[in-house]
Structure 1
Amino acid sequence: MKGVLETRELQSPALESNPLGDPARRRLTVYLPPGYGEGDRRFPVVYFLHAFGNSGGTWTNASGFAPTVPERMDALIESGAIPPAIGVFPDGWTSLGGSQWVNSDAIGRYRDYLAKDVVGFVDRTYRTLPKAASRAVVGHSSGGYGALVMGRYHPEVFSHLGAHAADSYFEYCYLPDLPKAAASLLKAGGVEPWHAEFRKRVRETKMRGDDFPVVNTLAMAAAYSPKKGEPLNVELPFDAQTGRIKLDVWNRWLVHDPVRFVPKFLDAFRKLKTVFLDCGTRDEFNIRWGTRMLAEDLKGAGVELVHEEFEDGHSGVSYRFERSLSVLVPKLARE
């Protein structure tokens, strides 16, 4: 790799005293492009948001065959396909598996952590161009969802956005998991005994295939329907005994669905200079359809949009970052 990877740590005021007791001191991986160490030149920045179940360290886990995302970014710069930029890989892991990059009473203030603490630390520490037009935020799955959250709330921080298979149209991407989660929780005797057994088992061995619908549902409930006093401070969108959907809680989830909030916040998305959306045609969580809905709304609102589909599923598609970087990085403002 021609560029350099650095590992830093930052203390996040936003995550201090978070409800899960997760660390407020977080590791931050930073990619510095070739030429960064020469002179006083400043660079635009791309922020990468990881998916649910991952952490900031996942970006540098080599598969043995495919390059990592930092290596892909480095190769694009070396080939001249994109101009040099800094890459930042923050850690949004929680003890429930992820944060959705939102502020939540059950998880903590991960939106503030990214938009204020991480961006502020990077601008203080590195030779960045500290303005929205010189920043992009990109992510996959829950990270793509987080990128859309940044577009909704923080167009003054990020002017360019890339969302790969972002969680959207919750009826398709989440609803199929709810009866599976209900069955496992009923068998375990509730949220707390299931979670205690799960935490013990994954420390000693590993996750089972039937764990994902449960932990994913708990994490999404923590993001979309937190409720103090409930087990893990979450309110589930179904009745624990019958599995019947609780419409009042489910509707709280739907408020956070991008296909609902993007049309309501089009003024914020119009402030963005570029939006890139994609999804595989065989996405196992049916996100293709939510992505199409978002593309239709954004295009109709006059947002500068690139929307693509490709023949693949949901996982193992980090090669698609080469495409989003090729679209976004050349549009980042420079000195």
Structure 2
Amino acid sequence: MKGVLETREVQSPALENNPLGDPARRRLTVYLPPGYAEGTQRYPVVYFLHAFSSSGGSWTNVSGFAPSVPDRLDALIEQGTIPPVIAVFPDAWTKLGGSQWVNSDAIGRYRDYLAKDIVGFVDKTWRTLPKAASRAVVGHSSGGYGALVMGRYHPELFSLVGAHAPDSYFEYCYMPDLPKAATALLKSGGVEAWATEMRLRARETKMRGDDFPVINILAMAAAYSPKKGEPLNLELPFDQQNAKLRLDVWNRWLVHDPVRFVPKFLDSFRKLKGVFLDCGTRDEFNLRWGTRMVADDLKAAGVDVTHEEFEDGHSGVSYRFERSLAVLVPRLTQD
């Protein structure tokens, strides 16, 4: 790698006293491009949002065969495909596996954590160009969802958004897991009992494959339908005894679905320089279709959209960041 990775710790006021008791002090990894230490130049910044069940440290995981995302970024700069940028890899791991990068009474204020604490810390610590025209935010899966959240709420901070297979059209991506979660929770005796069993199992051995749909639904309920006083401060969108859909709660989820909120916040997305969207044609969570819907709505509203599909599934597709970075980074203001 020609550039350098630095690691700092950030104390986040937004995460202090969060409901899950997760740490407010988080490790932050930052990529600095070649020549950073020798010069005085300021650089645009790309923020990378990790997926559900992942963490900020996952971006630098080394594979025996595939390069990491920082390695891919570094190679793009060395090849001249993109101009030099600073890259930021914040951590939004929670005891439920993730935050969806939103503010939630059941999880904590993770949107504020990114938009206020992380962006502010990065601009104070490194030689950034501290303006929206020089910032992009990208992510995959729940990280892609988070990138759309930033486009919705913070066009004053980010001018370019890249969302790879973002959680969208909840009927297709989440609903198939609802009966699986209902089965497991009924067998365990409820939300808290299941969570205790799962954490014990993960600590002593490992999570089971069938644990993922359950923790996924619990985490999404914490993000989309929090309710203080309920187990884990969340409301499930189904009856725990017969799995019947609770439409009042499910409709609370749908408010957070990009296919619903993007059309309502088009004024925010029109402020962006552009949006990159993609998804694999064999995505196991059916995210191809929600991504298409979001792309269609943005295009119809006059937003500059690059929408692509490729022959692959949901996981192991970090190579696609090479494409989104090639599209987005040259559009960042360099001075």
TM score, norm. by length of structure 1: 1.00
Q: Which residue in the other structure is 1:39 paired with?
A: 39
Supply the AA of the counterpart residue of 1:219.
A
Q: Which residue in the other structure is 2:287 paired with?
A: 287
Q: Residues 56-110 of structure 1: CA distance to partner in whole angstroms, max 9, x if unpaired?
A: 0000011111000000000000000100000000001000000000000000000
Distance 1:174 1:157 in 2: 30
SS, match of residue 74 in structure 2 = helix
Distance 2:29 2:96 in 1: 22
How far does residue 39 in structure 1 lie from its aligned partner after superposition?
Answer: 2.0
Q: Which residue in the other structure is 2:96 paired with?
A: 96
Q: For residues 1-335 of structure 1, what are the structure 2 equivalents within 5 Å?
A: 1-335=1-335
Supply the AA of the counterpart residue of 2:280.
G
Distance 2:39 2:79 in 1: 22
Q: Residues 104-137 of structure 1: CA distance to partner in whole angstroms, max 9, x if unpaired?
A: 0000000000000000000000000000000000
Structure 2: unaligned runs, 5 residues or longer: none
Select between 201-210 and 247-256 the one with higher mean Cα deviation: 201-210
Distance 1:136 1:64 in 2: 29
Supply the AA of the counterpart residue of 1:24.
A
How far does residue 292 in structure 1 lie from its aligned partner after superposition?
Answer: 0.4
Supply the AA of the counterpart residue of 1:315.
S
Supply the AA of the counterpart residue of 2:12.
S
Q: Residues 131-180 of structure 1: CA distance to partner in whole angstroms, max 9, x if unpaired?
A: 00000000000000000000000000000000000000000000000000
Distance 2:135 2:195 in 1: 38
How far does residue 225 in structure 1 lie from its aligned partner after superposition?
Answer: 0.1
Supply the AA of the counterpart residue of 1:189.
G
Distance 1:127 1:75 in 2: 21
Runs of 4+ in 1 over 6 A off after TM superposition: none
Distance 1:59 1:296 in 2: 30
Distance 1:65 1:163 in 2: 25
Distance 2:62 2:91 in 1: 17
Distance 2:268 2:147 in 1: 13
How well do the aligned residues superpose, as a CA RMSD in angstroms?
0.4
Q: Residues 162-208 of structure 1: CA distance to partner in whole angstroms, max 9, x if unpaired?
A: 00000000000000000000000000011111000101110111110
SS, match of residue 139 in structure 1 = strand
Q: Residues 8-62 of structure 1: CA distance to partner in whole angstroms, max 9, x if unpaired?
A: 1000000000000000000000000001112210000000000000000000011
SS, match of residue 161 in structure 2 = strand
Q: Residues 196-231 of structure 1: CA distance to partner in whole angstroms, max 9, x if unpaired?
A: 010111011111011001000000000000000000
Distance 1:7 1:148 in 2: 26
Distance 1:296 1:210 in 2: 34
Supply the AA of the counterpart residue of 1:79.
Q
How far does residue 7 in structure 1 lie from its aligned partner after superposition?
Answer: 0.5
SS, match of residue 5 in structure 1 = strand
Structure 1: unaligned runs, 5 residues or longer: none
